[in-house]
Amino acid sequence: MHMADALLSPPVAIVMDCATASMLALSVVKLRKDDSEQRLPTMAVTAALVFAGQMINYSIPGTGSSGHLCGGMLLSALLGPYAGFLSMSVILAIQCLFFADGGLMALGANIWNMAFYGCFVGYFLIWRPIMRRQSNSKGGVRGKIILASILGCVITLQMGAFSVCVETTASGISDLPFGGFLALMQPIHLAIGLIEGGITAAVLTFVYQARPELVKDAQIMDGGSKSKHALRNTLIVLGVAAGVVAGGFSLLASSKPDGLEWSLFGNAEDGYSENMGLDEEKYGVDSGMKDNAEAVQDKTSFLPDYGFKGNEENPAGTMVSGLVGAAIVAAAVVGLCFLGGFFRKRKAHAKTE
Amino acid sequence: MNKAGKALIELRQMDELADMESPVHSIHALIKLIVTITYIVLVVSFHKYDFTGLLIMVIYPLFLFNLSGVPIKTCFYKLRLIIPLVCMVGVFNPIFDREVLVHVGNVGISGGVISMITLMMKGVFSLMASFLLISTTKIDALCAGLRMVKCPSMLVTLTLLTYRYISVLTEEVAIMSDAYHLRAPGQKGVHYKAWGSFLGQLLLRSMDRADELYNSMQLRGFAGEFYYADRKRIGVKDIIYLIVWVGIFFFFRYVNVIGLIGNMIF
Contact A238, B231 (CB under 8 A): no
Asked whether residue A252 carries a pLDDT value surpassing 60, the answer given is no
Query: Considering only residues 38 to 97 of chain A, which have any Cβ-Cβ distance to chain B shorter than 8 Å?
Result: 38, 40-49, 51-53, 55-61, 64-67, 69, 78, 86-87, 89-91, 93-94, 96-97
Lowest mean pLDDT among A241-245, A268-272, A334-338: A268-272
Confidence of residue A302 (pLDDT cuts 50, 70, 90): very low
Asked if B177's CB is within 8 angstroms of A28's CB, the reply is: no
Q: Which of A327-341, B34-48, B178-192 has the highest mean pLDDT?
A: B34-48
Output the pLDDT for position B27: 93
Instruction: Give the pLDDT confidence of B180-230 residue by residue, as tens digits.
Output: 889 888 777 788 888 888 888 888 888 888 888 888 888 888 776 666 656
Half-sphere exposure of residue B157, counting CA atoms within 13 Å on the CB side?
20
Distance separating alpha carbons of residues A324 and B161, to the nearest angstrom? 36
Instruction: Give the pLDDT confidence of A80-135 residue by residue, as tens digits.
Output: 999 999 999 999 999 888 888 888 899 999 999 999 998 999 999 999 999 888 77
The mean of the pLDDT values for chain A is 72
Query: Considering only residues 295 to 314 of chain A, which have any Cβ-Cβ distance to chain B shorter than 8 Å?
Result: none
Output the pLDDT for position B196: 83
Q: Mapping DSSP to helix (H, G, I), strand (E, B) and coil, where does residue A19 land?
A: helix
Q: Give contacts of B51 with chain A, Cβ < 8 Å.
A: none
Asked if B189's CB is within 8 angstroms of A56's CB, the reply is: yes
Asked whether residue A53 carries a pLDDT value surpassing 90, the answer given is no
Min Cα separation B220/chain A (Å): 14
Asked if A210's CB is within 8 angstroms of B200's CB, the reply is: yes
Evaluated on CA atoms B200, B204, B209, B210, the torsion sign reads: positive
Bigger pLDDT: A238 or B190?
B190
Q: Name which of A8, A39, A45, A60 to mutate to probe chain B: the one with the most chain B Cβ atoms within 10 A of its Cβ.
A: A45
Distance separating alpha carbons of residues A30 and A232, to the nearest angstrom? 12
Phi/psi-derived region of residue B118, left when phi > 0, alpha when psi is between -120 and 50, beta in every other case: alpha
Output the pLDDT for position A313: 46
Query: Considering only residues 55 to 84 of chain B, which have any Cβ-Cβ distance to chain A shorter than 8 Å?
Result: 75, 78-79, 81-82
**Domains along the sequence of chain A with CATH:** 5-223 (1.10.1760.20), 228-252+319-353 (no CATH), 255-306 (no CATH)
Of A55, A66, A97, the CB nearest to B130: A97
In single-letter form, the type of residue at position A22 comes to S
Output the pLDDT for position A66: 65
Confidence of residue A189 (pLDDT cuts 50, 70, 90): confident
Min Cα separation B264/chain A (Å): 31
ipTM, two decimals, is 0.87
Lowest mean pLDDT among A292-296, A313-317, B152-156: A313-317
- Chain A interface includes B148 (CB < 8 A): no
Contact A237, A125 (CB under 8 A): yes
Q: Give contacts of A102 with chain B, Cβ < 8 Å.
A: 82
Output the pLDDT for position A243: 58
Q: How much of chain B, in percent, has pLDDT values that exceed 70? A: 97
